[in-house]
Structure 1
Amino acid sequence: METKRAALERPWLIVVLLALGQMISFVDRTSLSSALADHGFISEFGLTSVERGWLSSAFFWSYGLVQLPMGWVVDRYGVKWPYAICLAVWCMTAAATGLVGTLWALILMRLLIGAAEGVVVPATYRYLANHFAERQRGTALGIFSVGGKMGPALGAPIAAWLIVHHSWQLMFIATGLTGLLWLWPWLTQVKNDFPSPQELAVRVEQAASVPLRNLLASPVIWGGMLNNFCYAYFYIYCMTWMPAYLVEQRGLTLQKSGLYTFFSFAGIAVVAALAGWSADRLIARGHDAVRVRKCFIVAGFIGATTVLLGAYADTLRMALFWNVVSLSLLGLVTANHLALSKLTLIPLPAVGLNTGLLQVATSLAGGVSASLSGWLLHTSGSYTLSMQAIFLFLLLGATSTLVLFRRQWAPKIR
């Protein structure tokens, strides 16, 4: 039975499931952002801007802490069962958030969700490395990245609607439990890749051929971590603070802020998918994969700096326009950076471990972005300083791409 199912496994269908899993994870991690823009939620817990920053950043600290262990796990034990177990844990924890009544309990829930969601990215790259060729990876990653963008895009308006028409408690319970529906297609469509003792010994030997010290000695890895940080700093700012910015500085209602959050994240999802597909087409025609993906990445980082035009816009219409355009243009980076830094220049045995390592930088960016933005808001009373910081990090990402991503600097197999 298992052999028959394995033969029938459809990799592109699994990519869609991985994208849906990513979407569920982002709905559960961004539902808090809508709550933090709700005056009732803020007053119930007596939250200051600094405490809102702490609460937003809690997820990313535990998420970052487990990235290397999760990469180690999926390199050895496969993706099916680790992913299924972790998704069940984070969905139930997200639902339980609606039942807590203290700030410290909220922080604990966010830490647990972050730890469980740590499996998503290492497991995905382990699967893609095993099943897709270079000319297909940009498209596959474009599809996968749509899940990460549509999570906030759909989650923000849905969460806002549930809060306005029901309560923040029901919002957490409903969005958390709904994600459990994903488990049935995952368990029935993905083959069991949990290794036998003999297979495990082979995987351990393969993984040992590219030890962590070889990764840390590679400028490509440091470039990947820098880019992950710079990309995630802007993206996570939008995920954690955009609803509050639109409500508090631009005067939108909570529901309208959810609508414009949808447009921004839908924009980056569409651009990410098209950019990944376009790069794959160029590579399939014989163009160098590294050069093609670097061009898309640099263009995306530079295009996203238009966020600063939104910060200084005099009218609401122009502020909203640049809000959507800047995040959408960041989509040029998404799939191509993911392919370049986690697959194209990385030896196959080290994909999971490398992905976990790079995700540490992502989670660090999340913690810094969420908490630093709260502190800057507290000290200045405006979101402009936060956007100036984003501008600088985007320029750093473009520079890192040009300088550090070279084939001769890729990690070595011993």
Structure 2
Amino acid sequence: MSNPVEVSAHPRRWIPVGLLSLAALINYLDRGSLSVALPFVAHDMRLDPLQQGWALAAFSISYTLCQLPAGWLVDRWPLKWVYAGAFALWCIASAATGLAGDLAMLIFFRLLLGMGESVYLPGGLKFISEQFGPHERSVPSAIFDVGCKAGLALGLIVEVWVLRVFGWRWMFLSTGMAGMLWLLPWLLLYPAPLHAASAGRTPPNGKALLEILRSRSVWGMSAGYFCWNYFWYLLISWGPSYLYTVRGISLHSLGWVAGFLYLVVACSEITGGWLTAFLMRRGWSVTRALKSIIAMGFLLAMFIAPAGLAADRDLTVVFLYLSALSGVLISAILVVPQQYAALDQVGRCVSFQNLVGNFPGIIGPVITGWLVKRFGSFVPAFSVGALACLAGIVCYVWWMGSLKDVNRNISALN
């Protein structure tokens, strides 16, 4: 059990956690900005639907492919400077998008944005693993990641306002350059690691990656993260469109209805982090607490199936909000690779999980679009999302082994 004095003994480490949460908010503002501005960008650049699709896909392609290099960088070099450099790259790329004059430039800047933002998850969880002990990580992990959901909610309000008043070019320029202000407190307030990796014990890069690839538990947690992201991308990619086109939510109300949906996810994520820590303080093992919270979250996410079946619009919204309570599992999912890997391998483990887990961002919207076109309804698409959640429970509860046992296996590498 963690020492309660340890949590309050180093208050400075909580400031970068807040900064990382703010970076996550900026992250989602920047990555989602093209979706907000696309009709206007497409009009000015005369882009057909296929060209628009390539512009949207560019970010996910580079973001996913750069996961393993990002994980290696945060394990190999000082996180303070790696994260600062990557953050500067993604802010500059976001701002430069406002200067794009054709499709090639647009894709180029979106590829750079994906490269820069690839450090977000492995870097954030690496910091938490350096600063917090095994029984402390659920709450800071939740605080760190909740900025993403706040970014989605605010992006629907702030960016639409800037777009309407100043135009799409100034929207990219203003949000991208404003983000650069984040670097100053990050560089000034970054603390020294409290849990440092032992010098000279890091295995060679090839051997470390091979051990990750050969681990049943790594594949279990990565497949489970894939299942969660299938549901999550279904919610954020098609949720607003479904509410508008199928359920008749007016454009005036859509931003608030969809924005509140993401705020429900954010609030439940914080609750899940607190609940995980509470269970471990009551004597639950790390494995039991994390697996229980994850299973509960996936069960709540399955409310997306009746959301598609409900005849009443208000009941549909209620079911979607109930499915959004699944955010309770997010902090537990983020803690899992921190518990699995040795400190000097956290970045690589997280990046591999994120590599596998982000493929739904590429294939999920396409599968949903095909199902809707084939059956003329969102019911099959939402049912597939619910089945993915059921598969996620199997991945985390059965496929992934005991975290205590896994930690012993990993320590044998060093």
Shorter-chain TM-score bucket reads: 0.7 to 0.9
Q: Distance in 2 between matches of 1:182 and 1:116?
A: 15
How many aligned positions are there? 398
- 1:345 Cα deviation (Å)? 2.5
1:267 aligns with 2:240: no
- What pairs with 1:35-50 in structure 2 (closer than 5 Å)? 35-36=37-38, 38=39, 40-41=40-41, 43-44=43-44
Describe the shift of the 1:282–1:87 C-alpha distance in structure 2 as closer, same or farther (beyond 3 A).
same
Q: Distance in 1 between matches of 2:297 and 2:335?
A: 15
- What pairs with 1:303-382 in structure 2 (closer than 5 Å)? 303-326=300-323, 328-340=324-336, 342-377=337-372, 382=377
- Compute the TM-score of the two structures, normalised by the length of structure 2: 0.87
Describe the shift of the 1:156–1:16 C-alpha distance in structure 2 as closer, same or farther (beyond 3 A).
same
User: Deviation per CA, 1:81-120, whole angstroms, max 9, x where unpaired?
Assistant: 1111111111121122223243443333222111110111
Q: Distance in 2 between matches of 1:150 and 1:242?
A: 16
User: Deviation per CA, 1:261-287, whole angstroms, max 9, x where unpaired?
Assistant: 211111111111111111111102211
Contact 1:152 1:261 in 2 (8 A): no
Q: Distance in 2 between matches of 1:221 and 1:394?
A: 18
Describe the shift of the 1:316–1:31 C-alpha distance in structure 2 as closer, same or farther (beyond 3 A).
farther
Q: Which runs of 5+ in 1 are unaligned?
A: 1-6, 194-198
Q: Distance in 2 between matches of 1:320 and 1:172?
A: 32
**Structure 1: which amino acid aligns with 2:394?**
T
Q: Which runs of 5+ in 2 are unaligned?
A: 1-8
Contact 1:26 1:151 in 2 (8 A): yes
Question: Hey, what does 2:74 align to over in structure 1?
Answer: 74
Q: Distance in 1 between matches of 2:190 and 2:248?
A: 46
- 1:222 Cα deviation (Å)? 0.5
Which deviates the most, 285-294 or 184-193?
A: 184-193
Q: Distance in 2 between matches of 1:379 and 1:165?
A: 39
Describe the shift of the 1:312–1:231 C-alpha distance in structure 2 as closer, same or farther (beyond 3 A).
same
- 1:64 Cα deviation (Å)? 1.3
- Compute the TM-score of the two structures, normalised by the length of structure 1: 0.87
Contact 1:145 1:273 in 2 (8 A): no
Aligned mate of 2:295, from 293, 298, 321: 298
Question: Hey, what does 2:399 align to over in structure 1?
Answer: 404
Q: Distance in 1 between matches of 2:103 and 2:370?
A: 18
Aligned mate of 1:21, from 20, 23, 27: 23
Identity %: 31
Contact 2:125 2:334 in 1 (8 A): no
Contact 2:93 2:176 in 1 (8 A): yes
User: Deviation per CA, 1:230-262, whole angstroms, max 9, x where unpaired?
Assistant: 111222233333333333333444453222221
Aligned CA-pair RMSD = 2.7
- 1:218 Cα deviation (Å)? 1.5
- 1:348 Cα deviation (Å)? 2.2
Q: Distance in 2 between matches of 1:256 and 1:104?
A: 35
User: Deviation per CA, 1:9-56, whole angstroms, max 9, x where unpaired?
Assistant: 8111111111111111111112223234x5x45555566666555443
Aligned mate of 1:395, from 390, 393, 411: 390
**Structure 2: which amino acid aligns with 1:318?**
L
Q: Distance in 1 between matches of 2:199 and 2:222?
A: 25
Contact 2:32 2:155 in 1 (8 A): yes
